[in-house]
Chains A and B, each alone.
Chain A
Amino acid sequence: MIVQVLDIGLVALLLTLAGWTILARFTFPAVVSYVAYGLLLSLIWVRLFAVDVALTEAAIGGGFTGVLLIAAASRLRTTTPTEQGPAAPLRWAVAVLSALATLALAIVVLLLPDPSPTLAPQAIDNIAITGLGNPVTAVLIAYRAFDTMLEKCVLVLAVVGVWSVASDRYWGGAPSAPRAVAQSGALTLFAQLLPPLGILIGIRIFWVGADEPGGAFQGGAILAAMWMIVMMASLGDAPAISKRWIRIAVVAGPIVFIGVGVLGFATAGGFLAYPAGIAKTVIIFVEIFMTLSIAAALPMLVAGPPIQAPRL
C-alpha cells in the first residue's frame, strides 16, 4: 500500500515536470524542468528493477543532455523565431491526435499477453560461457554485440557531423566548451577536488559492469563528465579537432570492436564471435576502448563545432 502511494507520487511528479517542459512559455524554465525530469526518470527505472538503465539515464539522459540543452538555450537566447505557433483550433486538433496516440499505447500496455514472452531464460542459460555475471552487459557486448558496435559508430558519426557544421575557415580549430563566465575560486577548487575521485569512480563502475549493474557506457559517461568539469572551470581547453590524439580517442572504440569482430572469423567462426575460454578477456578488452571512446566523444558532442581558426 505504501509502495503504491510512493509510485503514484513519483509518477505524478514526473508527469508534472514533463507537462511543464512541454507547456512552459519560456525556454530556459523548460530546459531546467527537463533536467529535473531526467533525474526523476532514473528513479522510475530503479522501480522497474533496471539499474543499468537508471545509471545511463541519470548520467547521459539527465546529465549530459541537460548540459547540452542549457548551453544551447543560453546561446540561442538572443535569436528571434521565424514563425508563430499554430492557432487555437489547430492546437486542439493536435491535442486530440496526441490523446489518441496515448490512448492507443495505453490500450497496448493494458492488453499485453500474460505471461509475457521473455528472453531471460535464454540469456541466463548461455551466460556461463561469456564469463560475465551481469546479464545486461552480456546482452550488450556478447549476444547483441553487433548493435553495440553500430551504436559506437553512430556516436562517431555524430561527432563528425557536429564538427562538420563549422564554417570553412574554422575547420581544424578548437571548439569552445561551455565554461563559467568569470573566474571563480569555488569552481576551480571543485574542478581540482572532484576529477581524481570521479575518475576512480568511473573506472570502478566500468569494471564492476561485468558482474553488477554498471558497464562501459555508465563509466565512460562519468569520465566524460570529469573532463567537462575541468573544461568548464577553465582549467583545460577543448582540444583543436585537428589534433591527432582526440581523433584517435574518438574512433578507438569502434575500430577495436570491428577489429575484434573481423578476427572472430579466424578464431571462432563468425563476425563478432568470441573464442570460448577467453571470452571474458576479449569482452573486457573491447570494453576498455569503448569506455575511452565514450569519454572522448561525449564532451566533444557538447562542445560543438570549432569556432576558432586553427593555430598553425
Chain B
Amino acid sequence: MSAATLAGLTGAVLAGLGLYGFIIHPDPLRRVLAFNVLGSGVFLLFGILARRGAAAGLLADPVPQALVITGIVVAFAATALAVALLVRLSEETGRVGLHAEVPAQTPGDGADG
C-alpha cells in the first residue's frame, strides 16, 4: 500500500487512541495530551487527502497542507489556554480535576470568583 494510505490508516488509529484517552483519563493534563494525539491523527487524515491530490506538477495538494498548518498553530494555542487554566485551578484549590465541586473560598486571596 502506498505511503499515503498507510499514513491515513495511522491517522485513523491515532484518532481512535486519542478519543479513548480523552474519555478515560481522570487527570485533565492527560486529557489535554490525548486531545493533542486526536488532533494530530485528524491532521494526518488531511495529509493523505493532500498527497492523493498530487497534480499539476506538485507532489501534494497545497490547500489541505495550509489547513493543517493553521490547525497545528490553533491546537497549540488551545493547549496553552487549557494548561494555564489547569495550573491556575491547581494553585487556587490544590487539586486538579473536572468535578463540579465548589471549593471553599480561601480568605485573603483577593481573587474574585
Which interface class (under 10, 10 to 19, 20 to 34, 35 or more) fits A? Answer: 35 or more
Interchain Cβ contacts within 8 Å, total number: 291
For residue B8, which residues in chain A have a CB less than 8 angstroms away from its CB? 106, 109, 112
Instruction: Verify B65–A22 contact, CB threshold 8 A.
Output: no
For residue A56, which residues in chain B have a CB less than 8 angstroms away from its CB? 68-69, 72-73
Proximity bits, B54-82, A CB within 8 Å = 1, else 0: 11111111110111111011111111110
Instruction: Verify B95–A79 contact, CB threshold 8 A.
Output: yes
Instruction: Verify B77–A135 contact, CB threshold 8 A.
Output: no
Instruction: Verify A76–B86 contact, CB threshold 8 A.
Output: yes
Instruction: Verify A76–B29 contact, CB threshold 8 A.
Output: yes
Instruction: Verify A22–B37 contact, CB threshold 8 A.
Output: yes
For residue A116, which residues in chain B have a CB less than 8 angstroms away from its CB? 49, 52-53
For residue A7, which residues in chain B have a CB less than 8 angstroms away from its CB? 3, 6
Q: Which of B3, B59, B109 has most chain A Cβ within 10 Å? A: B3
Q: Is the interface of B mostly helix, strand, loop or mixed?
A: helix
Q: How far, in angstroms, from A15 to B18 measured CA to CA in the complex? A: 11
Which residues of A1-57 are within 8 A (CB) of B?
Answer: 3, 7-8, 11, 14-15, 18-19, 21-23, 27, 30-31, 34, 37-38, 41, 44-45, 47-50, 52-53, 56-57
Instruction: Verify A60–B73 contact, CB threshold 8 A.
Output: yes
Closest Cβ of chain A: how far from B87's Cβ, in Å?
5
Instruction: Verify A22–B61 contact, CB threshold 8 A.
Output: no
Instruction: Verify A69–B83 contact, CB threshold 8 A.
Output: yes
Q: How far, in angstroms, from A50 to B64 measured CA to CA in the complex? A: 10
For residue B54, which residues in chain A have a CB less than 8 angstroms away from its CB? 49, 118, 120
Instruction: Verify B65–A85 contact, CB threshold 8 A.
Output: no
Instruction: Verify A48–B4 contact, CB threshold 8 A.
Output: yes
Give A73's nearest chain B residue, CB to CB: B29
For residue A158, which residues in chain B have a CB less than 8 angstroms away from its CB? 77-78, 80-81
Which interface class (under 10, 10 to 19, 20 to 34, 35 or more) fits B? Answer: 35 or more
Instruction: Verify A167–B110 contact, CB threshold 8 A.
Output: yes
Instruction: Verify B26–A85 contact, CB threshold 8 A.
Output: yes
Pick from B12, B17, B47: contact of A50, CB below 8 A: B47
- Asked if A75 is at the interface of the complex by the 8 Å CB criterion, the answer is yes
Closest 5 CB pairs of A and B: A82-B97, A118-B53, A102-B16, A105-B12, A109-B8
Q: Which A residues are closer than 8 A to B by beta carbons?
A: 3, 7-8, 11, 14-15, 18-19, 21-23, 27, 30-31, 34, 37-38, 41, 44-45, 47-50, 52-53, 56-57, 60-61, 64-65, 68-69, 71-73, 75-76, 79-86, 91, 94-95, 97-99, 101-103, 105-106, 108-110, 112, 114, 116-121, 123-125, 135-136, 138-140, 143-144, 147-148, 151, 154-155, 157-158, 161-162, 165-169, 215, 217, 294, 298, 301-302, 304-305
